[in-house]
Structure 1
Amino acid sequence: MFTTRPTLNGTFGMASTTHWLASQSAMAVLEGGGNAYDAAVAAGFVLHVVEPHLNGPAGEVPIILAPADGPVRVLCGQGPAPAGATVAHYTSLGLDLVPGTGPLAAAVPGAFDAWMVLLRDHGTKTLAEVLSYAIGYARHGHPAVERVGETVETVRELFENEWTTSAEVYLPGGRSVAPGGLLRNQPLADTWERLVREAEAAGSGREAQIDAARRIWREGFIGEAMAAFAARPAMDTSGERHAGTLTGDDLAAFRATYEAPVTYGRNGWTVAKAGAWSQGPAFLQQLALLPEELPAYGSAEYVHTLVEGTKLAMADREAWYGDADGAGAADVPVETLLSPEYNAERRALIASTASYELRPGRPGGRTPRLSKHAAAVASGEAGFDALGVSGSGAGEPTVAKSPGDAAQKAAVQEAAAPPAVAPEVDRTGATRGDTCHIDVVDRWGNMVSATPSGGWLQSNPVIPGLGFPLGTRLQMAWLEEGLPNSLTPGRRPRTTLTPSLALRDGVPVMAFGTPGGDQQDQWQLHFFLAVVERAPVRGGLDLQGAIDAPNWHTDSFPGSFFPRAMRSGSVTVESRIGGEVVEGLRARGHDVTVGDAWSEGRLCAVARDPETGVLSAGANPRGMQGYAVGR
């Protein structure tokens, strides 16, 4: 079949990321003798520089790794809520939702420590070697993609009048960077160079230097600056200035941790995901809800089947997912949610017409409990319109919630890649951020998938002297006690970040993922099925064909980001899907929005044939930014 690019094949190494400079940096590390983990870390720090509107070092990153000589593991780079982040504190400020921007939304940063743990435990390169690429682009500049300047312009007034430290970095001389113009971040380059110097002075060994860097991040000059700045009130989406709850003690206590993945198998394939502190099990539930025999690929019945399963899985996500390992841990019945008996009951709910209800299940006979806000948006009583445009947020979704009349609001337009930013300028910073993705496989068979996000330039003010802002992941937790995802000190907010790793007959074969908030596991499901249910190409997996295939998503469940809206019965499709499919979906009762031809998803993927050792890779053409490289 025709594809926008070839599926790359080789035997040395493959990298696929959401920005070509990160992909090329990862490949440079592989060429220099590094392994997949060295390459992923280098790419991750480059993405902080070249996609600052999509992620930063004080954000978060879940990582799934499959060492050539060991089991598949999840490395959690999602920080918990600080000790002072209680429901009582936030509601005492008159809030009923965690703001979408500002210090109050900041969880304990998790990305930096996770990258360092990955490098220390599985990499071979030094701290200085993997940071050299990011330092170079921050110091000397990189040609900016157009969305960076566009994002800055949406928050220009905020930067100029409130977040002045951000204006110093992103509005030098009062001007945002033009597309292709060189964007520099001298404070960030200074931060990483000082970190390397201090880490090297602390020890001569590679691992000792990495652990020293972790201590500096938590308790040294970086940690001190983060804690001090979090205590300074800043304007947020509530329209008020609030100080955060993050303290030095919170930073000092955090360590990135390993855990076993949650898995589900279908037709000889097994997919490994992070636990229910992410939305990863929703992908597995969607697989479990599929009938044994799927309708014809790409048909209206096929799309209908997948969309209706998504609604059921996401309803369960809303009612049951949370941090099962954090303080005051939620009791998350993942095993039951993935059981054949439970999914047979749930599958029977999929009718020939579209559902407009939010229908969480009763695993083990338990009664689901939704937040008051989720129940309200599901019933249309939350005070938001269908798309939540009465209060645009700084959340992760790539779907633009456009203002205007009802017809305009219905015309949801996915921003392709890079992601959409709400077109209105808002003095509170109400813009839409997004996420990045990295997949790498090396010649030894090591494989890694990571989805870094948070710490966007539009999420919080830039910390003076450091060159990056804090994140806003706490906006995903509810300000209501007793829920699986209640805001709770020490508990991770349930995130949307969800990298994937697939095994065939127990052997790691493919790493993949995408940005996109609530859409991530919807787009990944279609990609995965397009790979495994269709014929291979050129003797291998058709990664690029599956990435290029017309995609879709539904918003028929409460969103994960401020203002947490829902659009019942909705399906947004790419126009390339064809009029016959669109009409078939409408005939089944779906509220169909036809988006741009190339507007759904930002997928990356790499693979390895365990029999031949042949490697392959593909990357999303949407937005003309993501690239795969390899040989």
Structure 2
Amino acid sequence: MFTTRPEIAGTHGMVASTHWLASAAGMAVLEDDGNAFDAAVAAGFVLQVVEPHLNGPGGEVPALFATAEDPRPRALCGQGPAPAGATLGHYRDELGLELVPGTGFLATTVPGAWDGWLLLLRDHGTKTLREVLKYAIGYARGGFPAVEKIRTTIDTVRAMFTEHWPTSAQLWLTDGATPAPGGLLRNPALADTWERLLAEAEAAGAGREAQLDAARRAWSQGFVAEAVEKFVATPHRDNSGRDHAGVLTAQDMADYQATYEEPLTAELGEDWTLAKFGIWTQGPALAQQLRLLEGLPVGYQDGIADADTVHAAVEAAKLAFADREAWYGDSADPAVLADLVSREYAASRRELIGDRASLELRPGAPGGRTPVLPRYVAEGRGLEAPKDPSGVGIGEPTVSPTGESRGDTVHLDVVDRWGNMVTATPSGGWLQSSPTIPELGFCLGSRAQMFWLEEGLPDSLAPGKRPRITLSPSLALRGGVPALAFGTPGGDQQDQWQLCFWLAHVHGGLNLQEAIDAPAWHTGAFPASFYPRGWEPGRLVAESRLGADRLDELRRRGHDVLDAGEWALGRLSAVSRDPETGLLRAAANARGAQGYAAGR
């Protein structure tokens, strides 16, 4: 099996992420006697600086974790809800919208990342806020080397910035020019914002927890919330082609706090248990796919999946994601989830996997319930949406000139010598999502584009509801002990590329790095979560390293195969801990030349 780099191993601690500077910052915290939670928070804040086209302070963070004292997986929900003013009456009836725009203020949910990271640090970390935030502040003020994708993203939306979002042009353009790859980028306004939050936190006294709670209030009830409300009241252009003001208020931010929740857990095989976020997210789709594949042969030769395996996995994905469209969302009946991931339901759905590629969207009827698809989907409107073949890539954004993006996300995994384990997929607030708030140095997210503007659906827009996010970290236990944390950017593809990794590692016997490097695939045969919600029945995107014979066989079975190139799909990272020996391992994706693992 060819591999790009070794799987690293050690006993002290491991950090893997989508950017080397974040992994280095997390490792520095571990070396300074911090635990996995301290390291994850430090790395998460660095990612907000060094991958600004993929996430930012105005975004969100879902994380799964387990502590050394308690092996039961827990979920941190740092996803803010729709604002109080985000009603169907306003968006659909008053503004005449059919879909929530993919950019601008109407797509904004309450920012959740700051409160989420600080809650995790307060309850499970050991370091002060200054100790973990100093790395991100240093890069924001002193500069960081811009990767190529930052330049291409800014260049794509340059006209939008110069014509409609002047505050973004001021931050990201220099005399109208985009940043040169490798050149230093700075964001002093963001560094100032963080320093002011630190000052207000430290004014609360010497106690670590008191300072963190003060910093949370300074964000949600202080100067940050005030600046946000004032800025979004001014209409700006979004990709509907019109100028709209936002509905997010300081009160919405004051009313929000990150929370913990119980994740979905699914037993797989004799000793594996997979933990995912619940039905308000995309997370259960990975569990459903693995359930559908139980009992079907999984074959690997020289580290590459055979055509039967790829075909079965693609058809399982179509069924799972069809169920996502009908059943997933924050208003879903909680009882539906147990039926969706049951072996009985999977057995009935497995019968639909034939020798030929399906070209239909086929949601099931868990527990005998009748599936209902959004009218936009049922009428085939997404089939008319413009397609962009470049949108198959490694989890970097597919960006239009008006700023709508797919796949913008980062990821990190951490495990420490005590057995604490964290996996997080932060996202939102990327630089092309909405205009920069100049005095804060960041913009707001666009996650509300995942709501439907139709009554009665599990994912209908309503105040206080969370959007059905694609963000989907994974944590797995072996023999009841946390053993594996992994994830990837990539929007709708996240739980498909993670399926590729799981099959290669758990069933194919490849180590973490080999499994990440193994040729990957995904299907686009279901409606996208991102504006303009397009889909392509029969589409199978695959890396050419699967081999010409396998690709030809998949075409013979009716798949519309798009060869994405040799190294094109996914930005996975992973860490593991051997429950018996305590040996730690880590690996990160080489595609895109950004992700790295660090450890010793």
TM-score band w.r.t. shorter chain:
over 0.9
2:89 paired with 1:111: no
2:495 paired with 1:492: no
SS state at 2:224 partner: helix
Q: Counterpart in 2 of 1:74?
A: 75
Question: 1:337 deviation in Å?
Answer: 0.5
Q: Separation in 2 of the partners of 1:506 and 1:330?
A: 28
Q: Separation in 2 of the partners of 1:574 and 1:280?
A: 24
Amino acid corresponding to residue 36 of structure 2 in structure 1: A
Aligned positions of 1:26-175 closer than 5 A = 26-70=26-70, 71-91=72-92, 92-175=94-177
Q: Separation in 2 of the partners of 1:355 and 1:514?
A: 26
2:415 paired with 1:414: no
SS state at 1:346 partner: helix
> Quick check: 2:265–2:276 contact (8 Å CA) kept in 1?
yes
Question: 1:265 deviation in Å?
Answer: 1.4
> Quick check: 2:407–2:491 contact (8 Å CA) kept in 1?
no
Q: Counterpart in 2 of 1:315?
A: 322
SS state at 1:470 partner: coil
Q: Counterpart in 2 of 1:548?
A: 517
Aligned positions of 1:6-405 closer than 5 A = 6-70=6-70, 71-91=72-92, 92-267=94-269, 268-297=271-300, 298-324=305-331, 330=333, 333-377=336-380, 381-382=381-382, 384-385=384-385, 388-389=386-387, 401-402=388-389
Question: 1:413 deviation in Å?
Answer: 5.8
Please report the TM-score for the alignment, with normalisation by the length of structure 2: 0.97
**Alpha-carbon spacing, 1:207–1:382, altered in 2? closer, same or farther (3 Å):** closer
Question: 1:175 deviation in Å?
Answer: 2.1
| Higher deviation after alignment, 202-211 or 509-518 | 202-211
Question: 1:204 deviation in Å?
Answer: 1.6
> Quick check: 2:406–2:490 contact (8 Å CA) kept in 1?
no
Q: 1:574 aligns with which of 531, 543, 551?
A: 543
Give 5+ residue unaligned stretches, structure 2.
none
Question: 1:176 deviation in Å?
Answer: 1.7
Provide, for residues 430-469 of structure 1, a one-character-per-residue CA deviation record: whole Å limited to 9, x for no partner: 4445100000000111000000001010000111210000
SS state at 2:54 partner: coil
2:504 paired with 1:530: yes
Q: Counterpart in 1 of 2:556?
A: 587
Please report the TM-score for the alignment, with normalisation by the length of structure 1: 0.92
| Higher deviation after alignment, 196-205 or 453-462 | 196-205
Q: Separation in 2 of the partners of 1:550 and 1:590?
A: 17
**Alpha-carbon spacing, 1:237–1:413, altered in 2? closer, same or farther (3 Å):** closer
> Quick check: 2:325–2:373 contact (8 Å CA) kept in 1?
yes
Question: 1:172 deviation in Å?
Answer: 2.9
Q: Separation in 2 of the partners of 1:513 and 1:87?
A: 33
Q: Separation in 2 of the partners of 1:431 and 1:280?
A: 21
% identical equivalent positions: 62
> Quick check: 1:332–1:484 contact (8 Å CA) kept in 2?
no
- Report the number of matched residues: 593
Q: Counterpart in 2 of 1:476?
A: 450
Question: 1:58 deviation in Å?
Answer: 1.1
2:534 paired with 1:565: yes
Q: What's the Cα RMSD here?
A: 1.3
Q: Separation in 2 of the partners of 1:310 and 1:431?
A: 22
> Quick check: 2:382–2:532 contact (8 Å CA) kept in 1?
no
Q: Separation in 2 of the partners of 1:433 and 1:599?
A: 13
Question: 1:421 deviation in Å?
Answer: 3.4
> Quick check: 2:108–2:445 contact (8 Å CA) kept in 1?
yes
Q: Separation in 2 of the partners of 1:67 and 1:39?
A: 14
**Alpha-carbon spacing, 1:420–1:255, altered in 2? closer, same or farther (3 Å):** closer
> Quick check: 2:382–2:527 contact (8 Å CA) kept in 1?
no
Q: 2:591 aligns with which of 622, 625, 630?
A: 622
Question: 1:608 deviation in Å?
Answer: 0.4
SS state at 1:148 partner: helix
Q: Following superposition, which runs of at least 4 residues in structure 1 exceed 6 angstroms of deviation?
A: none
2:417 paired with 1:440: no
Provide, for residues 538-578 of structure 1, a one-character-per-residue CA deviation record: whole Å limited to 9, x for no partner: xxxx0000000000010000000000011001100001110
SS state at 2:379 partner: helix
Q: Counterpart in 2 of 1:406?
A: none
Amino acid corresponding to residue 496 of structure 2 in structure 1: Q
> Quick check: 1:433–1:456 contact (8 Å CA) kept in 2?
no
Q: Separation in 2 of the partners of 1:131 and 1:603?
A: 25
Q: 1:613 aligns with which of 574, 577, 582?
A: 582
